[in-house]
A and B are shown apart, each in its own frame.
Chain A
């Protein structure tokens, strides 16, 4: 049985620009077959029991199988003047949707998985940063995260110390803010919207809102796809596939405080789809 709290959340189910007329696109959400199509009423998503609640935002279609517990989370930067919004397509990953989000929150892997791009030895240290579960917005936040990067973005030249902020505003979505190489004082915004197909299979939809007018769209997408394919080689080889929510099964360190807060937040809210509750 899927907990009601899980059913009442919003999940991405596809790119809005790709939704066509019936028969539309068949996909899955939380193990149930769903169909996306466009008709005179706009974009619709149907499941085994009829129409689902739908929101279109940040280039993607979001659906809820239950009764939405709240509106979809805001990303104010999505409407900020001068930003380029980039839908990066999809990467299918054989892992828990929660593991995909947790990996996105992790910087300690940069030198080893994204070698010479997002990190490089010997610059492996993760300095202390701040993590909170913000009670007002009910989101997990990590701030003041600093990391040395050889090539932080497509538009970055040479190594720089990048500052990051991370937020988890929904169980299977995360948004990061990072130093913008092209414009001092601004943040580049990158999101991953993870569609839980089943507890052990997901479609990851990366999305960006950047200050970068120069880099061709195809190069931006290709850069992001390359990064996610590197992550996939990890995500499909973690044991167990489900994310362990009980302490004891895995050993976090100070660098993992964001992941610790994310796990605690999921557990507290009963968002256990894709999680393993008892140490095996």
Chain B
């Protein structure tokens, strides 16, 4: 079995200099992009006092925790403690890191040390991400798409579509990709309808 690659967002929703929360196999992560564009995914917990690193701020090639400003480099190591500016932080102060790569406009997270690569969806381009309370089964039924390894795949009147799903106990995030020749506006509207019907099923 390969690495459990999980899509945590679309590339264009995470510009340089921004950090965001993400879920990976029930773990809460902070995913951030440095000024030069490098992506990192870490446990969403500052080793100092447990503050969520996804609330931190990106400065150049570093992420600083919002609570006491501890600064971490892209390797995850703490490189500066503002309360003790002259101290060189011990190497043991390090955020827990995961693999984070981009493929086809989608950001994927995998276990540290994974050797395989995330799935590719040749011929598809990112459409948008939607969060919903509906689960994968409800979305499959509402969309009429085929269940595939990484989500739901098939064609609609507006063209081909692929819905990559990442789920937690309470919500599902859909990363929608559109076939290159699809009608993006119509497909986006179709997606809204799928989500609405799936949510109605949840409530019913």
Q: Does A254 have its Cβ within 8 Å of any Cβ on chain B?
A: yes
Interface size band for B: 20 to 34
Q: Shortest Cβ distance from A238 into chain B, in angstroms?
A: 4
Q: Does B85 have its Cβ within 8 Å of any Cβ on chain A?
A: yes
Please state if B84 and A125 are interface contacts (CB–CB under 8 Å): yes
Q: Given contacts A234-B51, A238-B50, is CB(A253)–CB(B67) below 8 Å?
A: no
Q: Does A111 have its Cβ within 8 Å of any Cβ on chain B?
A: yes
Q: Does A255 have its Cβ within 8 Å of any Cβ on chain B?
A: yes
Please state if B44 and A234 are interface contacts (CB–CB under 8 Å): no
Docked complex: A80-117 residues within 8 A CB-CB of B: 106, 108-109, 111-113
Q: Shortest Cβ distance from B69 into chain A, in angstroms?
A: 5
Please state if B68 and A108 are interface contacts (CB–CB under 8 Å): yes
How far is A124 from B67 in the complex, measured between Cα atoms in Å? 12
Q: Shortest Cβ distance from B94 into chain A, in angstroms?
A: 10
Closest to B48 in A: A251
Q: Does B52 have its Cβ within 8 Å of any Cβ on chain A?
A: yes
How far is A234 from B48 in the complex, measured between Cα atoms in Å? 13
Say whether chain B's binding surface is mostly helix, strand, loop, or mixed: loop
Please state if B66 and A112 are interface contacts (CB–CB under 8 Å): yes
1/0 per residue B65-84: CB within 8 Å of A?
A: 01111000000000001111
Q: Given contacts A108-B83, A254-B84, is CB(A237)–CB(B55) below 8 Å?
A: yes
How far is A251 from B48 in the complex, measured between Cα atoms in Å? 5
Please state if A250 and B48 are interface contacts (CB–CB under 8 Å): yes
Q: Does A126 have its Cβ within 8 Å of any Cβ on chain B?
A: yes
Please state if A109 and B67 are interface contacts (CB–CB under 8 Å): yes
Q: Shortest Cβ distance from A202 into chain B, in angstroms?
A: 17
How far is A106 from B157 in the complex, measured between Cα atoms in Å? 59
Among A113, A239, A255, point to the contact of B50 (Cβ < 8 A).
A239
Most A C-beta atoms less than 10 A away, residue of B49, B67, B82, B85: B49
Among A111, A240, A253, point to the contact of B84 (Cβ < 8 A).
A253
Docked complex: A182-204 residues within 8 A CB-CB of B: none
Please state if A253 and B47 are interface contacts (CB–CB under 8 Å): no
1/0 per residue B129-147: CB within 8 Å of A?
A: 0000000000000000000
Please state if A255 and B84 are interface contacts (CB–CB under 8 Å): yes
Among A124, A233, A239, point to the contact of B45 (Cβ < 8 A).
A239
Q: Does B28 have its Cβ within 8 Å of any Cβ on chain A?
A: yes
Q: Does A121 have its Cβ within 8 Å of any Cβ on chain B?
A: yes
How far is A69 from B66 in the complex, measured between Cα atoms in Å? 39
- Residues on B with beta carbons closer than 8 Å to the beta carbon of A237: 51-52, 55
Q: Does B93 have its Cβ within 8 Å of any Cβ on chain A?
A: yes
- Residues on A with beta carbons closer than 8 Å to the beta carbon of B44: 239
**Interface set of A (CB-CB < 8 Å, partner B):** 106, 108-109, 111-113, 121, 124-126, 233-234, 237-240, 244, 249-255
**Interface set of B (CB-CB < 8 Å, partner A):** 28, 44-45, 47-52, 55, 66-69, 81-85, 87, 92-93
Q: When A and B form their complex, which 6 residue pairs have the shortest distance between CB atoms, in order from nearest?
A: A124-B82, A255-B83, A108-B83, A126-B83, A238-B50, A237-B52
